[in-house]
Amino acid sequence: MLSVKGLRANVGDKEILKGLDLEVGPGEVHAIMGPNGSGKSTLSHVLSGRDGYSVTAGSATFEGRDLLELEPEERAQLGLFLAFQYPVELPGVNNTYFLKAALNSIRKARGESELDAVSFLRLIKEKLKILHLDDSLLKRAVNAGFSGGEKKRNEIFQMALLEPKLAILDETDSGLDIDALRVVAEGVNALRSPERSMIVVTHYQRLLDYIQPDYVHVLARGRIIRSGGKELALELEQKGYGWIDAELAA
Amino acid sequence: MNAPLHSGLEHWLSAPDDSPAPDWLLERRRAARARLSARPLPHSKDEAWRYTSLKGLLEQQFTAIDEPLSALQPEDLDTILIPGFDAYRVVLVNGRFAPELSVLGELPAGARVGGLRDWLGHDPESLRGQLDATRGDSETFFALFNTAGLDDGLVVWLARGVMLDRPLELIHLSVGLDEPRVAQPRHLVHLEAGAQATLVERYVSLGESLYCTNAVMEVVLERDAVLKHERLQMESRNAFHLTGFYLVQDENSRYAGVNIGLGARWARTDLNTRFRGEHAECLLQGLYLAGDGQLLDYHLDVEHAVPNCRSEENFKGLLTGQGRAVFDGRVLVSKDAQKSDAAMSNRNLMLSEQAEIDTKPQLEIYADDVKCSHGTTVGQIEPEMLFYLRSRGIDAAQARRMLCLGFAGEIIDRLGDEAMREHVAEAVGQRLA
């Protein structure tokens, strides 16, 4: 599904990703853990097509397409979804209008017809329930004045609606209290399926108590230095990230 | 016998001879004309005309309209009317009241609405005190022109306590003629104590022809009166548009105005408001969108002459292509106007490198116990916001349009009617396509 090989990327003159390899198969959940500054967010951003990064070497293939060639909207239309670490507030942009535009863009790209108003509303209400979100959200502007927890739930709600093939959750746990974290994780778990893959990017092991990954990767200094099962997350939790330096020095 | 007028404007006053004007009005026209001849043309050295040149306007050699256009049928309005917008309607065609296109039906008792020319024919005395009642010293060059050429327009007079049960829509329709013409409608609105109304003023055209509108509206709100006023300037993209708006407010009156400016190649809007009684409130909202070949120029003059009044001026602008706009807002708080509350804001979104905005909000405060603020921003679409939308599958052009409409939405949402909000949002969206 996703194949990243030898990926190198710069921000300005500074190299952040230094030859990163990652293979994600259908239905797999991969956790990427790493300390601050290891390149976690850069990886999420490069894969989703945000400006400000230059890829200097390597490749990223998604569903057989060269991901790095595509515009951000084309990646989304192909089935890639990024849940933002800091969801952006869009004052004045109505949530319903936004969701409809997004869903219809993606449906159109898949060769499906646009949803009529009634089916759209029914679908939305169904998905709101998964995230314990209130109808009133639909009348508000996108993320504007939302609490931190509401913003993160709104991300997962969008994911539920857009039904991506691959979701990247960029530090979705940051800034959430334990109750909000549980709701978000339940939402994510409800969306797990044999066809849907996920990359869960996180600093802490805590999120992985709720979203059980199939694979855990440790990202440090722009490369994946270790991969394993979920027990690797526990090892990290016990040892902290300090041992990485020792590892790298060795 | 008449002194010559300024070159380029000399044919603006070939006023019709058949108008039933009383002597006092003829005298006012003559006086205005005499003052015009004595006044120099506005010039870029005048602060009020610093950013806006008259050159293009003078080159057109507009001539006054002397014949009413009688050929229009009600179905000619089909493309102009807003479906679902239920209102009393007055239509002016090329500045002349068109009763056959207007729909007034049963107005509430005490509400009088009609054409200025008709009114002067049967009840001229009632307008004697109303005309020029609002203007104080702030008479502009082009408002003088409007007085000198005064011929027709809309008159609204609501007696004490009368409430209009539906909005009153004034459609100012311009139809291109063989040569470029100028229409100078004069609108007079008077709400007696406690009267309430919603007035929707729309400047539109059939076709994209070249013409000029030089409108003046005078509004008097007596104590406790409430006026909601929406102005949609959606003239032909080849047109020139001038407006002088003059408002005086008595004690405890409320005015809420929304100005939408999308049309015309060159538009100059002067909004002048003055509090005459305490505890009155004046809200001026505005949205303008200037694209290639367009200049939209706004001047606000808000005078807090008495204590305890509140005003809010909130204008937002979208500038695309080589569009230009000017926002020159002034709030004057006189020495005695203690406890005045005034907030002025002008925010602009620049959608191209070639667009230009000149913005100049000013507070002139002579009282010491006031709450006043002003702020200006000139910005661009945030890349973060654009990326967020695109990451959801929405293409860049649509994402930009959504963000612009989001920016404009704050003002569009102030329009009172759902059909009107949709109409304006659609027009803005089309311009951004």
Q: Is the pLDDT of residue B153 over 80?
A: yes
| Cβ–Cβ below 8 Å for A87 and B385 | no
| Minimum CA–CA partner of B385 in chain A | A88
* Cβ of residue A76 closer than 8 Å to a chain B Cβ: yes
Residue of B391, B426, B432 to mutate, interface with A, max A Cβ within 10 Å? B391
- Measured between CA atoms, how close is B342 to chain A, in angstroms? 24
Q: How many CB pairs under 8 A join A and B?
A: 83
Number of helices (H) and strands (E) in chain B: give both, helices first: 8, 21
For residue range B24-65, list pLDDT tens digits in order: 999 999 999 999 888 999 998 998 999 999 999 999 999 998
Mean pLDDT value across residues B361-369 = 96
Q: Which residues, 6+ apart, have CB-to-CB distance to A22 below 8 Å? A: A2, A3, A4, A30, A32, A199, A217, A224
Binary contact (B388, A90; C-beta < 8 A):
yes
Give counts: helices (H), strands (E), chain A. Answer: 9, 12
**Separation CA B347–CA B16 (nearest Å):** 44
Query: Average pLDDT, stretch B278-305?
Result: 97
- Interface touch A71/B408, C-beta < 8 Å: no
Q: What angle do CA B150, B155, B156 make, to 5 degrees?
A: 160
pLDDT of res. A250: 61
Residue B147 is predicted with a pLDDT of: 92
The full DSSP string for A121-155 is: HHHHHHHHHHTT--GGGGGSEETTT--HHHHHHHH
Chain B touched by A207 (CB under 8 Å) = no
**CB–CB of B407 and A92 under 8 A?**
yes
Q: Which domain holds residue B414?
A: 384-433
In this predicted structure, what is the pLDDT of residue B96?
Answer: 92
> Closest by alpha carbon to B394, among A142, A107, A111?
A107
Mean pLDDT of A5-16: 95
What is the distance between the alpha carbons of residues B266 and B237, in angstroms, rounded to a whole number? 9
Q: Which whole number is the average pLDDT over B16-22? A: 69
Which residues are B254's β-sheet partners?
Answer: B226, B281
Question: What confidence score (pLDDT) does residue B134 get?
Answer: 81
Mean pLDDT estimate for chain A: 92
Q: How far apart are the first and last CA of chain A?
A: 34
pLDDT at B16 over 60: no
Mean pLDDT of chain B: 93
Band of pLDDT at residue A174, cut at 50, 70 and 90: confident
Percent of chain A with pLDDT over 90: 72
Q: Does A146 touch chain B (CB under 8 A)?
A: no
pLDDT score recorded for residue B151: 87
Measured CA to CA, the distance from residue A114 to residue A164 in angstroms comes to 17
In a domain, B310, yes or no: no
Nearest-Cα distance to chain A for B395, in Å, is 6
AA identity, residue A161: L
| pLDDT tens digit sequence for B374-396 | 999 999 999 999 999 999 999 99
A37-68 confidence digits (pLDDT tens): 899 999 999 999 999 999 999 999 999 999 99
User: What is the domain count for chain B?
Assistant: 2
Yes or no: say if B260 and B411 are a contact pair by the CB < 8 Å rule. yes
Q: Are residues B246 and B395 in the same domain?
A: no
Residue with tokens 């790095």: A68
Contacts of A76 in chain B (CB under 8 A): 390-393
* pLDDT at residue B137 tops 70: no
Domain final residue, candidates B234, B254, B277 = B277
Question: Which residues are CB-neighbours of A244 under 8 A, at least 6 positions away?
Answer: A35, A218, A220, A225
Pairing, β B154-158 against β B88-93 = unpaired
Query: What's the pLDDT band for B72 if we cut at 50, 70, 90?
Result: confident
A87 chain-B contacts, CB cut-off 8 A = 388
Report whether pLDDT(B3) > 80.
no
Using a CB–CB cut-off of 8 Å, the residues of B that contact A are 382-385, 387-396, 398-399, 402-403, 405-410
For residue A166, give how far its alpha carbon lies from the nearest alpha carbon of chain B (Å): 13
Which residue of A lies nearest to B400 if distances are taken between CA atoms? A93
d(CA B410, CA B286): 10
**Chain B partners of A109 at a C-beta cutoff of 8 Å?**
393
How far apart are alpha carbons B64 and B62 in whole angstroms? 7
Q: How far apart are CA B146 and CA B214, in angstroms?
A: 7
Span A105-127, pLDDT tens digits: 999 999 999 999 899 999 999 99
> What pLDDT is recorded for position B138?
63
Q: Could you tell me if A49 lies within 8 Å of chain B, comparing CB atoms?
A: yes
Contact B387 A50 (CB under 8 A): yes
Q: Is residue B326 scored above 60 in pLDDT?
A: yes
Residue B1 confidence (pLDDT): 47
**Does the pLDDT of residue A191 top 80, yes or no?**
yes
CATH number 3.90.550.10 is the correct assignment for the domain at A2-249: no
* Helix (H/G/I), strand (E/B), else coil: B362: strand
Give percent of chain B above pLDDT 70. 97
Judge whether residue B15 has pLDDT over 60. Answer: no
Query: Which residue ranges make up each domain of chain A?
Result: 2-249
Single-letter code of the amino acid located at B69: L
Question: CA of B318, closest CA in chain A: separation in Å?
Answer: 14
B398: distance to nearest CA of chain A, Å?
9
What does the alpha-carbon distance between residue A217 and residue A30 come to, in Å, rounded to a whole number?
7
- Distance of alpha carbon B424 from alpha carbon B138, whole angstroms: 31
- Give the tokens for residue B363: 């507070």
**DSSP character for A28?**
-
Q: Which of A90, A115, A169 has the highest number of chain B CBs within 10 A, making it the mutation to test binding with B? A: A90
- A211, A29 contact by CB (below 8 A): yes
The helix (run of H) or strand (run of E) holding residue A6 is strand A2-11
Query: What SS3 class is residue B274?
Result: strand
Q: What is the pLDDT of residue B387?
A: 98
Regarding whether B194 and B47 lie in a shared domain, the answer is yes
Of residues B377, B328, B319, B397, the one with CA closest to residue B353: B319
Alpha helices in B129-206 (DSSP H): 141-148
pLDDT, tens digit, 9 for 90 and up, residues B184-207: 999 999 999 999 999 999 999 998
Query: Minimal Cα–Cα distance from B283 to chain A, Å?
Result: 20
What span, in angstroms and rounded, lies between the C-alpha atoms of A212 and A215?
9
Confidence band of A131 (pLDDT split at 50, 70, 90): confident
Given pLDDT bands bounded at 50, 70 and 90, which one contains residue B68? confident
Per the DSSP assignment, residues forming a β-bridge with A86 are none
Per-residue pLDDT band for A71 (boundaries 50, 70, 90) equals: very high
Q: How many CB atoms lie within 10 A of CB B373?
A: 12
Phi then psi for B428, rounded to 5 degrees? Answer: -65, -45
